[in-house]
Structure 1
């Protein structure tokens, strides 16, 4: 994937590897989402953080990344870092010891947390702006927040999967967390964000990613 003059490798996990910067970009991990639901009386299986950590550990091994940048909503709530089980905290500490970790603030976790690494509101890297929420009219912006998904129909078969989407000005990453939902990029939330003639969509598959023609996109 080429965006704003830079080459990236989209991963089937939803991570984006920036070879030139040895940096793994992820968005919307939402650690401890199920624990947050449990505190409100919704007793859901509390395994989402462990599953997301396993995905993250695998991507760091596979890519050999030296830096991890999480584009906000790393935790589902401001206090979610305090809800980690000892085992999950140990695994997350191992990640922060292994690579440089930069945690950008999101709408779910605007306050800096006590996990290792550096907490920032947003950052600039090699001429690109990295942040949580997308903004209109900015060139070279990489963000998350909207959990983009593509819905396509081919020969009567319908498939809906999380996706990367960009127009060479704005690049949105899919949600990386194991218990996160997704929003169709044809929905109202995306109106006005992209210049459609330049749109490029890359859908997540089981073991690889797939470029998708915008002409095949459908609502729903």
Structure 2
């Protein structure tokens, strides 16, 4: 598996092509914004019908990453379910799939703005979690240091071989690390948006996801 190795607050980390974060020393895999059950939301709201495969695609990706990394602990950084109702409406097969992934692993659901309460699936729940030099939460907070968060679904827009492309990306500087959305069918916020420019230092990097993750200066 192609990965991008980097150090954040003295923790040696790997950015995976999928948008997952691997901390080998802790045998930990971190993912953010799975938004399981998202395809059902436009239908419930009277919107367009999406193919109902987002949950299976996301869980397949997670299954592969867990197998490849050998992670024994997982932190989901919030918005793991598109809503509390979406979590409750997963099919029996999907629920059993998550249960199988949890077997033999420490599993922590961080609360997000889409899923603020506990869900009826195994694992522990917390608003945030501290491990070594790092604090894991859903939304970045001003003045934080050693913070790993999600929520914004960052995406970088750049020119490659004469054409414009957009890639989901990690954002990192000395103080904070923001993960891309891991779930299928998730949108994103461009790194040029004022919110992300305000959060990240001038020397921040974007680590592009894809077949070969790579770090570039954060596009502004």
Write the distance in 2 (CA, Å) between the matches of 1:62 and 1:154: 29
Write the distance in 2 (CA, Å) between the matches of 1:180 and 1:102: 21
Secondary structure in structure 2 of the residue aligned to 1:8? strand
Alignment of 1:136-151 (within 5 A): 136-151=142-157
Q: Conserved in 2, the CA contact under 8 Å of 1:35 and 1:83?
A: no
Secondary structure in structure 2 of the residue aligned to 1:33? coil
Q: 2:22 is matched with which residue? A: 17
Q: 2:190 is matched with which residue? A: 184
CA deviations over 1:148-171 (Å, ceiling 9, x no partner): 011112453222100011112010
Moved more, 97-106 or 50-59: 97-106
Q: Conserved in 1, the CA contact under 8 Å of 2:11 and 2:133?
A: no
Q: Which runs of 5+ in 2 are unaligned?
A: 1-5
CA deviations over 1:126-182 (Å, ceiling 9, x no partner): 121100001111110000000001111245322210001111201000000011111
Out of 79, 83, 99, the residue aligned to residue 77 of structure 1 is 83
What is the TM-score when the length of structure 1 is the normalising length?
A: 0.93
Deviation at 1:102, TM superposition (A): 0.2
Out of 23, 34, 37, the residue aligned to residue 39 of structure 2 is 34
Are 1:193 and 2:190 matched, yes or no? no
Write the distance in 2 (CA, Å) between the matches of 1:115 and 1:77: 14
Alignment of 1:88-127 (within 5 A): 88-127=94-133
Q: 1:58 is matched with which residue? A: 64
What is the alpha-carbon root mean square deviation over aligned residues?
A: 1.3
What is the TM-score when the length of structure 2 is the normalising length?
A: 0.93
The number of residue pairs the alignment matches comes to 214
Q: Which runs of 5+ in 1 are unaligned?
A: none
Q: 1:6 is matched with which residue? A: 11
Write the distance in 1 (CA, Å) between the matches of 2:151 and 2:62: 18
Q: 2:217 is matched with which residue? A: 213
Moved more, 14-23 or 42-51: 42-51
Deviation at 1:190, TM superposition (A): 1.1
